Structure 1
């Protein structure tokens, strides 16, 4: 079976934090004997033919220095700016032209389009040139665009060509069922951790020493949707109560300067370490060493929120207690007081209460972490995910 991934974002190098699960999905399918190729846009002019054994065709769509519509942040988040509105026109035109020549030359059994707007256009071209089955893979962020009546009309037109629809969570499934018109079957198939399998199997338990400094970990982009500023408010509250904490923040993003400013203005330098993006071995070590993993995501001012939350899966694979906001697709992973702990979004005091609850109820937290580990192994392991994907592709 030959499959083509059409996507707006795909890792540019090994260890890239831009959609690493897509590369992992391609590699897992390859293990099952599936030939996977990728059709994706360039970024700053990069020309790429192969990444970690997966063939990739990168199409150019503007001057090298301006090819930044995708990868660092979702294109839907950038379309309010004039320069990106101009870029999207060039992106669509070049993508259509390149997909025409690409699919005339390369034949596939299945074309799967990730983030279907506007990439669905390229998939439709491929479907009619190759006769391939067309699958749309929805995440959540692309659904923000349907607030525009014209784009919603286009979306509904694109849906006519889909043979199957995949969503990453029940939250995303409900979004498309409520907002779009289609007759194609829908399957919920999440993604999972992109960390190496041999590392994931090395699990560890929460630290039992309640008197020591409590180690808290945040992993994610420093953007509004991740709720990092509310987490910092919680840390400020903990330090004011003289609770000994050590906080590690891993990730980059446009709110980094705001984060630094908050830390300095509130005298939190000795409690919080900003590490930016780190190599995989360092990330693994942070998961192993932390006592609690905190995922304080919110619904941002644009209405965007978490489609799933891959880092939650990673933390649970190390049997760490997870505190997460009750938003979006997070609830497909975190079942309150069963696989983790849910708190209301944008509520630092509730974060504080839950952090202290875990500290003071270690035995219960340990059992919840164990439950979470078993749950993600059963529902979010790559064997399970790839088996579900193959059923969709072969249907």
Structure 2
């Protein structure tokens, strides 16, 4: 008999890393999977509407657990103010209904964790701490959960690249692939457009590079609270050769990666392991990013691309210069990344690992 799993997540049709993750895995599960979609479903809400909808979500979740016999609930919090307290109530509802649960920590804001979580450890242990297992994207998160006194299994996993990226042909096998030899190089920044994702560091670095390289381009894909301000920043500084793509998904996203040469994500957000980095690798792009979250646990600096310090556009410029001056490295790193991604980040492999965790959690 198949395990019956309820996954608690944002609506998969809206932007976000969790949505991308589960949309990619959806067709590859062998378990009986059901979803509970929480949140505003992509709509704008006033404060009163947020509050009433939140209580409605809690009640609907409770009813769903009472009316259905799930073997396991999969919760997907992040270690930040909004997610921590909201999702702790869902964890408490699992306890009240006697439903087994696994907690998958997607993001981790260390400042919040130190200021808040460590001060309310009894509450953590009463809610999330009652989980039958926890899933993490980085070793440092597992270590901290153990410091909280959590005794049940803590299991590592990676995020996943969209299936479409594994259907792309290897662009380095294409005899027409001559762009880098002509120094016609496209950088790609694809993320929520927020300050903590490193958008301004990316812009400052690109502006500095244009003093020495005339045939480079920066594509920016995504939407977010900082988009209008970032666009105003570009216009004010007169930065040229930037294309704003907006929010893209599916074939549009795959096309943007395929047509680019270097992926740039200088984030200082509380990342787990961004799906976009795996998608860049599957597309054959060297990656320039920061050593946050789960990135540093697998990333081979100098082989997959380069890691840079947070909030340091000069270091980003320095690493980009290495690639622009040694374009053969773009191809070498890109080919290595394709092979690495195809061996580890496919939906088939990740869904298989996730379902092993489900089985272990249910039998715990």
**TM-score with structure 1 setting the length:** 0.78
* Offset, 1:11: 1.6
Q: 57, 63, 66: which one pairs with 1:104? A: 66
Matched, 1:183 2:151: yes
The equivalent of 2:276 in structure 1 is: 311
Distance 2:18 2:184 in 1: 33
User: Can you list the C-alpha shifts for 1:211-234, whole angstroms capped at 9, x where unaligned?
Assistant: 333211111111012101011101
The equivalent of 2:203 in structure 1 is: 232
* Offset, 1:136: 0.9
The equivalent of 2:266 in structure 1 is: 296
Say if 1:207 and 1:344 are closer, same or farther in 2 by CA, change over 3 A. farther
User: Structure 2: which 5+ residue stretches go unaligned?
Assistant: 79-83
Q: State how 1:170-249 maps to structure 2 within 5 Å.
A: 170-178=139-147, 180-196=148-164, 199=167, 201-205=168-172, 207=178, 209-249=180-220
Q: 333, 340, 344: which one pairs with 1:375? A: 340
Matched, 1:19 2:16: no
The equivalent of 1:335 in structure 2 is: 300
User: Structure 1: which 5+ residue stretches go unaligned?
Assistant: 47-63, 68-82, 299-303
The equivalent of 2:137 in structure 1 is: 168
The equivalent of 2:356 in structure 1 is: 391
* Offset, 1:279: 4.2
Distance 1:198 1:317 in 2: 7
* Offset, 1:294: 1.2
Distance 2:276 2:331 in 1: 19
Distance 1:16 1:138 in 2: 15
Distance 1:374 1:388 in 2: 19
Matched, 1:43 2:40: yes
Root-mean-square deviation over aligned CA pairs: 2.7
| Mapped contact 2:270–2:292 kept (Cα < 8 A) | yes
User: Can you list the C-alpha shifts for 1:259-298, whole angstroms capped at 9, x where unaligned?
Assistant: 1122112211x31011111242222111111121111112
| Mapped contact 1:4–1:37 kept (Cα < 8 A) | yes
SS at match of 1:275: strand
Say if 1:107 and 1:143 are closer, same or farther in 2 by CA, change over 3 A. farther
Aligned length, in residue pairs:
346
The equivalent of 2:93 in structure 1 is: 125
Distance 1:326 1:142 in 2: 14
